[in-house]
Structure 1
């Protein structure tokens, strides 16, 4: 048995099958009896919430019956509570009608408020956890849950991780309903479908998947549903948790699922036939399946002229290769292949390295590690000082290291240029993959020179070819090569030529538009009409 099989083997839990009273009580498949006695229900709620400080109970009297409004004051807006519930109930205390049931109360006092009836204690608890206020009346067989709106939300602002020059400036926030609304705003189509799930045994977090009915591949959709339903964990706090649980394999540094906080990016992916995943409490949404080339593309590419976009696309691929192999090329040339450097440059480099006490590989790893520490420190520091620390720290440490004779000037240029090239990628977690593989290539170059670099790149390509994302080859449409999809991979053809969806998705509607021709000027249009 390999070490990986031993470490990650699923072992039988001796406590599995044993369920506590709280878990059994909150299980959606097991209904809980709702008593017609108000005091009994209130006591049950206190036991369920364990006398938490934010549980509020307000006694009321309607139609000759005692009642109570129960809610968690940390999950709803108190101003809305006063305006939509407490104000209308002021007149209820004067109501002397004795035949008022819960339905008549709703029609009389809350006709415009979103509501649901709850006939089990579990439903009441669930509604309160979701920000509703629950009205219970003595001798009533069900309760009234009023959804008056949640707590304060963060305003919609410009994306912080994926900046844009030309295009929409809005981004997702931590509220799932707002995020779905931002997508609905862009895709006004009844075929846009959202399915809701609850994930996390303890957190009970809302999750939604969105897709275009009649466009999405039903096999991929079915696979996505099955993987989401199989999620078994105590809590889900971010889409990163979902990504790790539904991805085809975790033993790779390349991201297999696309993540973004931009609504226009998710909307574009849904229109192509992909599936989007939204999670309550996080501003990042997922898109799947995602292939290797998706991480070199940005929605801004479709807002700029196609000549400029094509140039930037090629630049991104070149920057990825520079980040990946430039440091290892330096080690290989300095250690084994000095004959590749012109004599004048070689003499200059060796003169600079004359006072350096370390081999090239040690020198490079020292600077790479220092730069990674500075980059991480700049990311975690407060914004006011983070940028200053990254720039000034790199300049000061680099200059001091050169003057102290620890590294050469050429090495500082190599490390700085490869680090800057890593920022060209529009998706952050994809650039991280290049940074990690770079260290492996440096070690391979120190051992075998260019042969080590070439062997490592071959192994990396073999690994990429073996990857799958929801059954789709990760390197498609490059390997396997699909000619029809090349109009929007390394270069972007004009938008009016993009009439088909990606063939690797096997969409039910592969054709976007019919009879889409090149735009013509009014003079030529008149001339064509006359000729016809």
Structure 2
């Protein structure tokens, strides 16, 4: 067993024989069936919510029958509660209403309100937690859950982490229903499926899988369902928690699932045959499976001319290699391979480093650590102050370090350029992998020079070849090489040539566009030529 496996091995909990809180909620503390006696149901709810101030129960009279309206003030809108439920029931006690069933009450007082009938107290509690008001009437065998809308939510704004110049400007929010609606707005197809789960033993968070029926690979979908059902976490507050629990490998710097807050990017991936994972409470959606080349592509690539997109993609790949290797190349060449530097440049570099008291590797690590601190401080501080700090702080500290003789001018250029290149990646968490591996390359370059860099890159590529995302090789369609998928990897071919879905997904419908050819101008009319 490897060291990492031993460190992260799951240990048996001494409380493992105890029943989970979710099971207590479903089975033991609450009666399985809804009781027709109103007082018994109210007492059961009071036992569950007796210590929370947001639980409210409003006594009502409908005709000659006693009733209660129960709800949580923190999960619904008070204005909607008053206008849609309490107002219709205001004079219900005066009306000569015969309560035959809960169905007749709904038809009489709430014909236009979204509803659901519940026949167990566990379901009553679940509906209340999801923002419904529960109407319970004495001697009725079922309760009525009225969904009148939730509390205030953040409005749809522009994406904050994946900005583009041309394309849709909306982004996901923390409400899962709104997010699913943004995808449904783009894919008006009955084959678009949203499959709901509940995850988190304590948080009971809603999760949804979104895919195109009759297109998605059923084997990948079944595997994803299986992994989600095995989740036994206490609470899941973001899709980052889901990512760690369902990925094929946790011992890697590289993300094995693609995350996005853009509805257009999510819709495009779903139409390709991939699966989107939505989680209540977060604006970031996961896309599975993901391959290495996905992290060099942006939704804007398909809105710009394909020649420009190809050029930008080349810049992204080059920037990734610059971020990864430029600092380590500086250390290796300055320390071991000075013969590779032109004489004039070598003299300039050595003259600048003459007053520097540290070797190249220590000098570089000091500056790299300083830039990482500035980067993190710029993110965590208030937005306006953070931008000023990251820019001014880098200039001031860099200039002061050079004047103090701690680092050379060339090193500041190397560190700054590699830091700027790391921001070219369209996906933030992918650039983190390059930043982390960069430190390993720097240390190897200080020990073995260019040979250390080459050895580390070989190990990295070997590691990438062995990675899988739900069984799909991470480096596909490059390794294994798939010729038919090369139209949208390093270069983007014209849109009318992209007629098939990625073959590595093994979708049920590999062809997505038929009889599409290059557009041409209309041929001149012979009659018009003769008249001319």
TM range (shorter): over 0.9
Change in Cα spacing, 1:95 to 1:207, as seen in structure 2 (3 Å) is: same
1:473 aligns with 2:473: yes
SS in 1 for 2:277: strand
SS in 1 for 2:208: strand
Counterpart of 1:171? 171
Counterpart of 1:223? 223
* 8 A Cα contact 2:325 2:438, kept in partner: yes
C-alpha separation in 2, matches of 1:422 and 1:22: 43
C-alpha separation in 1, matches of 2:398 and 2:166: 36
Q: 1:49: Cα distance to partner?
A: 1.6
Q: Deviations over 1:8-34 (max 9, x none)?
A: 223322322322777423359996232
SS in 1 for 2:253: coil
Counterpart of 2:43? 43
C-alpha separation in 1, matches of 2:279 and 2:378: 28
Q: 1:380: Cα distance to partner?
A: 0.3
Change in Cα spacing, 1:236 to 1:165, as seen in structure 2 (3 Å) is: same
Change in Cα spacing, 1:167 to 1:312, as seen in structure 2 (3 Å) is: same
Q: Deviations over 1:443-492 (max 9, x none)?
A: 00000000000000000000000000000000000000011111110010
* 8 A Cα contact 2:398 2:412, kept in partner: yes
Counterpart of 1:418? 418
C-alpha separation in 2, matches of 1:20 and 1:419: 47
State the number of aligned residues.
527
* 8 A Cα contact 1:25 1:32, kept in partner: no
C-alpha separation in 2, matches of 1:302 and 1:28: 54
Q: What does 1:183-198 correspond to in 2, within 5 Å?
A: 183-198=183-198
Counterpart of 1:292? 292
C-alpha separation in 1, matches of 2:68 and 2:51: 16
Counterpart of 2:148? 148
Counterpart of 1:496? 496
Q: 1:98: Cα distance to partner?
A: 3.9
Q: 1:102: Cα distance to partner?
A: 1.6
* 8 A Cα contact 1:28 1:122, kept in partner: no
SS in 2 for 1:523: coil
RMSD: 1.6
Counterpart of 1:109? 109
C-alpha separation in 2, matches of 1:369 and 1:400: 16
Greater CA drift, 133-142 or 278-287: 133-142
Q: Deviations over 1:9-63 (max 9, x none)?
A: 2332232232277742335999623222222211211111233100011110002
C-alpha separation in 2, matches of 1:5 and 1:450: 31
SS in 2 for 1:59: strand
Change in Cα spacing, 1:29 to 1:116, as seen in structure 2 (3 Å) is: farther
1:204 aligns with 2:188: no
Counterpart of 2:359? 359
Counterpart of 2:259? 259
* 8 A Cα contact 1:166 1:300, kept in partner: yes
* 8 A Cα contact 2:423 2:431, kept in partner: yes
1:133 aligns with 2:136: no
Change in Cα spacing, 1:27 to 1:510, as seen in structure 2 (3 Å) is: farther
Structure 1 residue runs of 5 or longer lacking an equivalent are none
* 8 A Cα contact 1:63 1:100, kept in partner: no
Q: 1:7: Cα distance to partner?
A: 2.0
* 8 A Cα contact 1:211 1:276, kept in partner: yes
C-alpha separation in 2, matches of 1:354 and 1:311: 40
C-alpha separation in 1, matches of 2:21 and 2:32: 12
Greater CA drift, 251-260 or 339-348: 339-348
Normalised TM-score (structure 1): 0.97
* 8 A Cα contact 1:22 1:48, kept in partner: no
Counterpart of 2:83? 83
